[in-house]
Structures are given as C-alpha cells and as structure tokens.
Amino acid sequence: MKRTQARLADGREIIYFDLDDDAVRDLDDPRDLPPVSTASQIRHDPLLDEWVAMASHRQTRTFLPPADLCPLCPSRDGKQTEVPSPDYDVVVFENRFPSLSMGAADPDPAEHIGSAVGVARAGTGRCEVVCFSSDHGASFGTLSQERARLVVDAWADRTAELCALPGVEQVFCFENRGEEIGVTLSHPHGQIYAYPYVTPRTSRMLETARRYSDTHGRNLFADVLAEERSAERVIVSSAHWTAFVPAAARWPVEVHIFPHRQVPDIPSLTDDERDDFVAVYLDVLRRFDALYDAPLPYIAAWQQAPVHADRDLAYLHLQVFSVKRAADKLKYLAGSESAMGAFITDVLPEDVAARLRRNA
C-alpha cells in the first residue's frame, strides 16, 4: 500500500491510499476556497448526561448534487473537486463541513447556555470523508476484495492517527448508504468521526459489560458471540468472523459481524483477519442488495474501544442495519422509539436471518 499526503486549498489534509506502490497522484488544489468553520461546540444535556454537538455551519453543506457536479469524484475535464487527482483507489480527507474541529474554541463565557447545570465547551475533534472508489456508480458491495481490503487498511491507519490526537476519546468509522438514510452525496463513501467524549451507545454497552464481568468473570461480548454462533440466526461464518442477526434486533434488517478473537479496534486486526473480514462483509452486502432486488439503504457502524477507557472490556465489531422493512416500506422512528428509546420491531430476527441466508 502506498500512502500519499497533501493539503487542499483551504489547508485540510488529504491522504491517498493506493494498491500500486508506483502510483502518482496530483497534489495541487487550485481552487479558491473560504476558510473551514471552526465554530463547533458541544453542550451537555444534564438530564441524559450526554453531549450534543452544535454545528450550525453544516446547514450550507452540499446537498444531492447531480453526478457531473459530485465533489467526491476525481478532478477531470476542467472540473475541480475535493480530490485534485484525476483518479484514485481510496482517498481520505478532512470534511469541508465538519461537526467537530481541532481548531474549535471554547464558547464565550458571557453567553448564556441553558441552565446552571448545563455546560458548553469547544467541539474539539476531527471529521473525515473516506471515498471507497473513484467510480461514482460503485458501492462498497461492488468493490473487489483487494480494493475493500485497502479500505480496511485506511480505516486502521486513520483510527491509529486520530486516537493519538489531543482531546480525542473515541474514533468512529461508519458508512451511510442511500437517500432513505439521509445521505447527501451519492458517491460511494463513508466517514470517520474523532469525538472529544465517549459516545452514549458505547458508554452504555461498556457499563453493561463491566457489570457482567463483575458478576460472571467473563466478557459479555464474547459470551453473546458464542451463543449466537450456535443459534439459527447466523448468516455467514468463516475462520475468523461470524455475521448474525442479533436475537433482539431493533431494525428490520440488522446484522452484526464479530471477529472470533477479542480485539479493541481495527488496527489490532491481523492481515488474515482483515482479509477474512472483507470476504464476509462483501458476502453480507450482496445478500442485502438481493433482499428486495434493489440497493438496500443501510448504516454500517464500527464499534471500537474508547481511546483511554475500558479497552479491556471492549470488543470490536461491525453493526450493519437498514430502515427498509419491505420493498416499499420504511421503518420510521416514531413515538416509542424517538421519544422513549423503546424499539418495537415489525419482523422477527429469525425470519430476516432465513431470508438473508437464502440470498447467497
């Protein structure tokens, strides 16, 4: 793998990841760009003990442009995009409209933020875009195994570097696919967030894992994986990974992909584990798209350990889920889910697993 770093016209970092060690990429960005906003802040919700990011500058971000104006395609035919080179394998760059920024400053103490128990501080962190392919019409599921492995290596590279940034507490690699999910750019890409706090979902899982370890002396994630591997909800199993529909799946289509060895994060995976993951994941994505004979909208969310806390309890895994509950129906988070956080699912996990297994 060849790694090439450069800077875009407004100072943002861009990194090319290439399979060919002899690849040469254009690094000069001739655009005249305004400075990137560093106005992000985070505010503490005292009722839920959670942080909420405030990034009002994102209201002006690019929204569903036509393919010939896609900012994630390579720069060609006189059209300058976010990627100066006329081609690339995988490329990562800092988001032009970041929710978090390493340059963010603490809010003016004279501002009145909420109540006496509320707190506001700088939205410190980093947001990156990961383009999986220069082909606008591709998807992660259509990548070759070699190219998909390059994406995994890019995730590992960025996770390691972002974890080393001051103030970063958790790194989250993810992909939103499909307009139904809320995607604003249709080019095949994902994102990486480096948060200045441990996210609520991760905190909750690790608190549960800590109680389980104190009571049983074992790792909760490992025990869940062991049970699921012997259940009827397994979709794909290989030497190093198992993909299954969890027993208490919240979403109409939901698959968790676990390595058989407990590791805290993507950089900790061996070469064999990374190769094996690619084969399993591409298999799962093909089954997703065969479910309704159309591209399935989904969110793919890597659960990685926090940077400093509970790394011994954490267990790397990927959660992939879709809001599509039928070919022409979506699952909306209405009153019970949105207001109370109490999910009600419309389909049995065993039925979903059976359908996905048939879509080999």
What residues are annotated to the active site? 189
Whole-number pLDDT of residue 115: 60
pLDDT exceeds 90 at position 64: no
In DSSP notation, 232-293 reads TTEEEE-SSEEEE--TT--SSEEEEEEESS--SSGGG--HHHHHHHHHHHHHHHHHHHHHTT
Parse the chain into domains and list their residue ranges: 2-197, 201-355
| Domain 201-355, architecture per CATH | 2-Layer Sandwich (3.30)
Tell me what percent of the residues of the chain surpass a pLDDT of 90: 88
Query: From start to end of the chain, where are the E strands?
Result: 2-7, 13-18, 41-45, 50-54, 90-94, 120-122, 126-131, 170-177, 189-195, 234-237, 241-244, 253-259, 298-303, 317-322, 324-326, 329-330
Distances in Å between the alpha carbon of 113 and those of 44, 58, 109? 10, 20, 9
Distance CA 71, CA 107 (A): 32
For residue 344, pLDDT over 70 is answered with yes
**What's the rounded Cα separation, in Å, for the pair 272 and 280?**
12
The tokens for 59 are 């209201």
- ∠ CA 186-187-188 to the nearest 5 degrees? 110
Q: What pLDDT score does 112 carry? A: 59
pTM of the model: 0.96
Average pLDDT over residues 152-158: 98
Q: What is the structure's pLDDT at 93?
A: 98
> Do the domains 201-355 and 2-197 match in fold?
yes
Residue-wise pLDDT tens digits, 67-97: 999 999 999 988 999 999 999 999 999 999 9
| pLDDT computed for residue 106 by the predictor | 85
Tell me the pLDDT tens digit for each residue of 309-328: 999 999 999 999 999 999 99
pLDDT of amino acid 58: 86
Q: Among 3.30.428.10, 2.102.10.10, 3.90.1150.10, 3.40.50.12780, what is the CATH number of 2-197? A: 3.30.428.10
